[in-house]
Amino acid sequence: MYRGALLVGVVGIGLAVQLAAAERATFVLTDGSRQSGEVVFHGSGNRNIVDNFLNLGEGGRERTFPVDQVALIDFAGGEPSAADFSQLPTGAGHLLVMRGGNAQRGKLINLTNGDTVQWQNESGQDQQFAIRDVARIYLDASAARRLYPQFANAAPTSTRGSDADADTSVPRGAVRVSGNQDWTPTGVRVSRGQRVAFSATGQIQVSTDPGHTAGPDGNPNVPAAAGVPVPEMPVGGLIARVGSGPAFPIGSNREPIAMPAAGQLMLGINDGHVSDNTGAFAVMLSNDRSGSGRRR
């Protein structure tokens, strides 16, 4: 039972509930109950978490839930998977799972504007993700294991993705770019002209042909499929784009690159048909202006 009564009710005076643009979420509470609604936000910071309470709105009314009574936040619907539980921290800490399958440990900072996750990864770097790209956020690993005992003993792994990718090691702070995913959100927002350096490692298989492997620079011996994002770059190379803008090559180049626009930085694979790919790249990002390597 809870230490006190769960706070459920209408928002008090001074909290302006804004629902127009909010995404929906389901809070799975530590007692196993589920509460669904819109991700409301308040105040000048447009924050959902206020005084350590998460908030959901429905029909002009708002319900509040202490953060320590929420086991996980579900944005995608459905049930968790064993792959999620293989990544859960053994102690304190949170886990963010993307809809594309990638996951990372860290800490939920807040939900803002009804559509954005503010996240801090294990290296202390701040990131932002669109809620529409996030499947689930686990806030209490021990409660999640208790609520889903069928997954509680899932073997820990160091990565997420398909079974063929399960041996791909990703250093702390790196972005895992799965070979079978068109675009991977980095959680990093850049400004036009900002210089960002990339350091990529790893290898992907770009077809069922055993010889069709590629590092970050791609493989010039692999025939390009229709719709390859960067025609001048070999198939399988590491590429990027800002928002939904045009793709540009990254490869193994470690010199800072000026960003062509403002928005979220996305990483991808230079392949017009990624569904049969396996493997992944691990990509470290650093901001040339500070030289600190800190994500922004």
Asked if pLDDT for residue 57 goes beyond 80, the answer is: yes
| Higher local confidence (pLDDT), 204 or 125 | 204
Can you identify the CATH homologous superfamily of domain 164-287? Answer: Galactose-binding lectin (2.60.120.430)
* Closest listed residue to residue 30, CA positions, set 185, 141, 186: 141
Task: State residue 152's pLDDT score.
Answer: 75
Task: State residue 219's pLDDT score.
Answer: 93
Assigned token pair, 262: 């403002």
Q: What pLDDT digit, counting tens, does each position of 216-264 carry? A: 999 999 988 788 999 999 999 999 999 999 999 999 999 999 999 999 9
| Higher local confidence (pLDDT), 187 or 51 | 51
Q: What mean pLDDT, rounded, does the chain reach?
A: 83
How far apart, in whole angstroms, are the C-alpha atoms of residue 213 and residue 192? 33
Assigned token pair, 274: 């990624």
Helical (H) or strand (E) element with 143: helix 141-147
Task: State residue 82's pLDDT score.
Answer: 83
Task: State residue 50's pLDDT score.
Answer: 94
Contact assessment for residue 233 and residue 207, using Cβ atoms and an 8 Å cutoff = no
Task: State residue 160's pLDDT score.
Answer: 39
Contact assessment for residue 35 and residue 79, using Cβ atoms and an 8 Å cutoff = no
Assigned token pair, 25: 């979420």
Contact assessment for residue 71 and residue 140, using Cβ atoms and an 8 Å cutoff = yes
Contact assessment for residue 128 and residue 264, using Cβ atoms and an 8 Å cutoff = yes
Show the beta-strand stretches assigned E in the chain. 24-29, 34-38, 53-58, 61-66, 70-74, 94-98, 103-112, 116-121, 126-130, 134-138, 175-178, 183-190, 195-205, 213-214, 238-242, 248-249, 257-258, 263-269, 278-287
- What's the whole-model pTM score? 0.60
Distances (CA, A) of 116 to 12, 16, 46, 131: 24, 18, 10, 5
Secondary structure (H, E, C), 27-92: EEECCCCEEEEECCEECCCCECCECCEEEEEECCEEEEEEHHHEEEEECCCCCCCHHHHCCCCCCC
Contact assessment for residue 122 and residue 89, using Cβ atoms and an 8 Å cutoff = no
Q: What pLDDT digit, counting tens, does each position of 162-174 carry? A: 333 433 455 667 8
Distances (CA, A) of 199 to 42, 50, 102, 195: 39, 38, 19, 14
Domain-wise residue ranges, the chain: 1-157, 164-287
Task: State residue 9's pLDDT score.
Answer: 39
What is the rounded average pLDDT of the residues 81-104? 86
How far apart, in whole angstroms, are the C-alpha atoms of residue 165 and residue 202? 11
How far apart, in whole angstroms, are the C-alpha atoms of residue 270 and residue 233? 7
How far apart, in whole angstroms, are the C-alpha atoms of residue 114 and residue 146? 29
How far apart, in whole angstroms, are the C-alpha atoms of residue 261 and residue 191? 6
Assigned token pair, 196: 């960002």
The DSSP call for residue 149 is T
pLDDT band at 211, cuts 50/70/90?
confident
